[in-house]
Chains A and B, each alone.
Chain A
Amino acid sequence: MLHKVLIIIQWFFLLYMLVLNLCYLALNIISFITIGRYLNNHRLDDFLQSFSDFEPPISVLVPAYNEETTVESTIRSLMQLTYSEFEVIVINDGSKDNTMGVLTEKFKLVPVPEAYQIRLKVKPIRGFYKSLMFPNLRVIDKENGGKADALNAGINASRYPLFCGVDADSVLQRNSLKQVIQPFLDNPLTVAAGGTVRIVNGSRVYNGFLEEAGLSAKLLPRMQIVEYLRAFLFGRLGWAPINAMLIISGAFGVFRREKVIQAGGYSVGTVGEDMELVVRLHKYLRMKKEPYRITFVPDPICWTEVPEDLKVLRNQRVRWQIGLLQSLMRNRDLCFNRRGGMVAWLAFPFMVIFEALGPVVEFLGYIYTIVVFVLGIVTPTMFVLFFLFSVGFGVFISVTALLLEIISFHIYSKPRQIFQLFLCSLYENFGYRQLVTLWRLEGLWKWLKGSKGQWGEMTRTADWQK
């Protein structure tokens, strides 16, 4: 009897692994087709500049909480973006450090009266400021309410039809806004577009802009490069063509302001407010039967620093898992909703089964494998072979993401870098992947206990910055 039960469990794990890998493979194939098409059009960008006039004006929102060390360079780099018309709104979310003092001193802020239009409810505003140096820079000083609340305050104060949420520590390229705006020019139905986020550790940054991309000397950031390649190059790219992309990174994403306000703005009290908003936008627009596009720009246009030590990485992954679960739970009525299309019938269930519950299944799978091995139910040969198969498929998926990167943008173009990343896609299966599973499991546990949303604090080394 026990044997039969164990066999059934074994088939469950095998089936789960098989379906998951087939889904990844399908996303992979879609991504290859999409990137091929995208690159064909993208190659024209150089000499289609004159076809990109009449860009819609954008409000760039920068929520800041205890960012006294990075806020100046971030704002200075934002002020140098090449774009016809944009405003930058920094929202100081009740920082406990000298963020406001730095902003006031470095950008010559003066208080201004503002008949503020409260379209999204936010924590009380302490004051509005404008810069005497840059006419398109404004600062909102408000009581602490979390990142979502800060972004909502920025949306209330923004003047333009599109807004772009940017993390205070994001490193951009001068043409980042021009690139991320393309989907809005290409298709008037676009309501949101996300940009590809790459890892800045190991790269050289000058005056807030990326000068040369490189690989960190440390193993942990390198492993995360492979993860980011997977997540952005076929995680996002695979879902975007079927209009079922559920995540736009908070580090860099553009939204149509009115649609976001209609959908209720960012949700306060969530950790993953960026994902939650995108899922809710899908739900809102699908339920209203409004045609729309939520899409993705594969060009690397935003660079972010990733954790270099395990403690910080653990906090980040726990937070991400809580954010994922909150986003899905708050919008659970979208799942299998008859009006929900691909989002409701494909992307949402995929996220629940393989991303939200994935760590549980994976963890139980490890336990099961150890138990049956100890009990002698599987032979060492089979144990090794199945492990090899699992690792092999993991490597294969990572390597295809790497191939996609080489074909498309070849940021890591030197043969040495390619080989190092290939090795990382191999190493990550021995320890790193299991560790991440454990942290995601911890996130799930904390979510079950009712962990509340707060600003994600991360120790930044910023040793890439000149």
Chain B
Amino acid sequence: MREPPSDSVVTLVVGASAAIIVTSLLLLLLMIIIRFIQSVREEQRRSFIKTWSPIMALSIEETITDLPILLKFNYINFLSQWNIFADSVRGPSRKGLIRLAKQVGMERVAAEFLSKRSEYERTIGAMSLGNMEDKSQWDKLQELAENNIGLSGQVAARSLARIDPVASAPVLVPIFVRRKDWSSARVALILKDMEPNAVSIHLAAAIFTATSEDLPRLLRFLPYIERGIALQVLSDILSRNTEPEVLTACLAGIKALGDYQSISLVKQYINHEAWSVRVQAVNALGMLASKDDLPLLVERLSDQNWWVRYRSAQAICNAPFVTPGQLQEFRDKHPDRYARDILAQVLAEKQMVVD
């Protein structure tokens, strides 16, 4: 039964085994070489930071004329370190840093980085130009913000906002509407960098024309525009829409922006059929309510949804017009057990003593 293996099979197996073993050994060698290169680079970076960090810190205060030579392989290190400094200072202090970057020709390097293939270099380039408030590369930054799918697009958008908030608003708002893949937190951060009067009209117009699918996301950005315009937008959207997601976002906006004038609007939704709307109405009411509105909040303590009960209890406990005696009475004498339980929980959470 025993058959000698054919020569070709033996050759194939020997060849494959030898190739795998040699490759593994080569990979081991490669690992050691990579580690060596990494160590050298880490050392270069450490030495760069040791030399340039004090210079960057000093440049905030004064002009430095005698600068060390900046070698090409340290351009990336310079811009990374420089951006950390630039992000940490505001106003006139930044001028010195911008002067330093220009002294070593970094505005040219950053502009070149925008066209690189590496996402990392593009992002650093975009961020640096924003921090340098350099308008010369506006078109390239706009192109990046409009078309890039990576982080560099978002960073380019922020740079545009930093370079010229007014001019960037009509460019950026349509991008914010279109780019659903951009995290709302990051968009909010860019809007924070812009002045409310620069962005108000554009964002309000975008919200008025947005689809009901886009509305909840865009409404979250209302706290970054002028308060009067935002409230007007909210009131208008509330009167035109019935989708719970939109109503919820509007009520959250009213909570953040509203005044007592808005309370009649909020009260309309306190008994809405969707609990997500009721909970936001209770939240808004908690912020805006006066003593006369207390019965509405107490009524919601018996809501069938836990979150509505919980937020009502929080609103009641936080209200400046509710006395400890009233709290005790609600907790002990409310006819509904669920209402009593939720009040007891919130009082315990807040370590409030009522008896």
Contacts and interface: CB of A to CB of B under 8 A. Distances in A.
A413 interface: yes
A115 B344 contact: yes
Interface residues of A, number: 55
A389 B13 contact: yes
Interface string A273-290: 000000000000000000
B346 to A, nearest CB: 9
A187 B181 contact: yes
Nearest to B13: A385
Contacts of B14: 385
A400 B20 CA distance: 12
Contacts of B188: 54
A382 interface: yes
Given A44-B124, A115-B341, A399-B24, A375 B1 contact: yes
B40 interface: no
B158 interface: yes
Given A44-B123, A377-B2, A399-B24, A112 B184 contact: no
B35 A389 contact: no
B64 interface: no
B210 interface: no
Given A381-B5, A385-B13, A389-B20, A115 B32 contact: no
Interface of B: 1-5, 9-10, 13-14, 16-17, 20-21, 23-24, 27-28, 30-32, 34-35, 38-39, 80, 83-84, 87, 118-120, 123-124, 127, 150-151, 154-155, 158, 180-181, 183-186, 188-189, 306-307, 309-310, 338, 341-342, 344-345, 348-349
A356 B120 CA distance: 40
Contacts of A393: 20
Contact of A396 (B3, B24, B310): B24
Nearest to A418: B31
Contacts of A457: none
A43 interface: yes
A43 B123 CA distance: 11
Nearest to B76: A43
A50 B130 CA distance: 14
A138 to B, nearest CB: 9
Contact of B186 (A51, A56, A407): A51
Given A385-B17, A413-B38, 14 more contacts: A41-B150, A44-B151, A54-B188, A112-B349, A113-B341, A117-B306, A376-B1, A379-B4, A385-B10, A389-B13, A395-B21, A396-B24, A406-B31, A413-B35
Dominant secondary structure of chain B at its interface with chain A: helix
6 contacts: A2-B1, A37-B119, A47-B87, A50-B87, A185-B186, A388-B17
Interface string A18-56: 000000000000000000010011011011111101111
Nearest to B39: A413
Interface string A381-397: 11001101100110110
Nearest to A118: B306
A407 B84 CA distance: 25
A431 interface: no
Nearest to B343: A115
A126 interface: no
B23 A114 contact: no
A188 B13 contact: no
A410 interface: yes
A379 B4 CA distance: 7
B16 A389 contact: yes
A130 interface: yes
A371 B31 CA distance: 40
A54 B189 CA distance: 8
B183 A187 contact: yes
A357 to B, nearest CB: 25
A55 B151 CA distance: 17
B30 A403 contact: yes
